[in-house]
Amino acid sequence: MSARRLSRLKFGFWGVTDLVHLQIEWHQSRLSDIRA
Longest distance between any two alpha carbons in the chain, whole Å = 51
Read off the amino acid at residue 2: S
Q: What is the CA radius of gyration of the chain?
A: 16
DSSP 2: -
- In sign, the C-alpha dihedral spanning 27, 29, 33, 36 is positive
Q: Report the predicted TM-score, pTM, of the whole model to 2 decimal places.
A: 0.54
Q: How confident is the model at residue 1 (pLDDT cuts 50, 70, 90)?
A: low
Domain residue spans in the chain? 1-36
Share of residues in the chain with pLDDT > 70 (%): 94
- The H-or-E segment that residue 26 falls in is helix 3-35
Q: How confident is the model at residue 7 (pLDDT cuts 50, 70, 90)?
A: confident
